[in-house]
């Protein structure tokens, strides 16, 4: 199982549509973008209230609606994640960050940008 698959089970049960077709145009995509905003605001409020329980709940809700957005747009989240993960990890050489004198993590020759277009096949 994956988070995205869990959310897809919920979406099917709730008569929401899943698509393999890449698209941002539709009421369901708008709905999920609104839900992401709503959950972010709730999480921020919980953070400002120093409420760890509600922050944890909010973070999970955010992941939930982000997965819903992915499945509404035809995005296979794991593929995008893997590309971004690989890019981020390419900043390390032999497991270590290269920092300049002020402590900034530099981008070594091994660094590569995530190729999201390639991952999405567009």
- Give Dmax (Cα) for the chain: 55
Both tokens assigned to 49: 């209230």
Per residue in 89-107, is it b (16+ CB within 10 Å) or e — as a string?
Answer: ebeeeeeeeeeeeeeeeee
The answer to whether 54 contacts Mg ion (rule: CB under 5 A) is: no
**Cβ closer to Mg ion: 40 or 77?**
40
CB of 37 to Mg ion, least distance (A): 12
The residue number whose beta carbon is nearest to Mg ion equals: 61
**Cβ closer to Mg ion: 62 or 120?**
62
Q: How far apart are CA 79 and CA 24, in angstroms?
A: 18
Q: How far apart are CA 41 and CA 52, in angstroms?
A: 15
Q: Please pick, from the candidates 7, 61, 65, 69, the single residue that binds Mg ion as defined by CB under 5 A.
A: 61
CB of 105 to Mg ion, least distance (A): 33
Stretch 17-46 residues interacting with Mg ion (CB under 5 A): 42
**Cβ closer to Mg ion: 23 or 49?**
49
């Amino acid at each position: 199982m994956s988070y995205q698959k869990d959310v897809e089970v919920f979406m099917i049960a709730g008569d929401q549509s899943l698509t393999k077709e890449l698209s941002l145009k539709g009421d369901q995509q708008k709905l999920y973008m609104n839900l992401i905003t709503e959950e972010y605001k709730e999480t921020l409020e919980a953070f400002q209230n120093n409420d760890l329980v509600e922050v944890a709940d909010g973070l999970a809700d955010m992941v939930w609606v982000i997965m819903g957005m992915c499945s509404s747009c035809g995005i296979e989240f794991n593929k995008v994640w893997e590309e971004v993960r690989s890019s981020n990890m390419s900043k390390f050489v032999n497991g270590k960050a290269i920092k300049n004198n002020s402590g900034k993590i530099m981008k070594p020759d091994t660094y590569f940008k995530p190729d999201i277009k390639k991952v999405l096949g567009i």
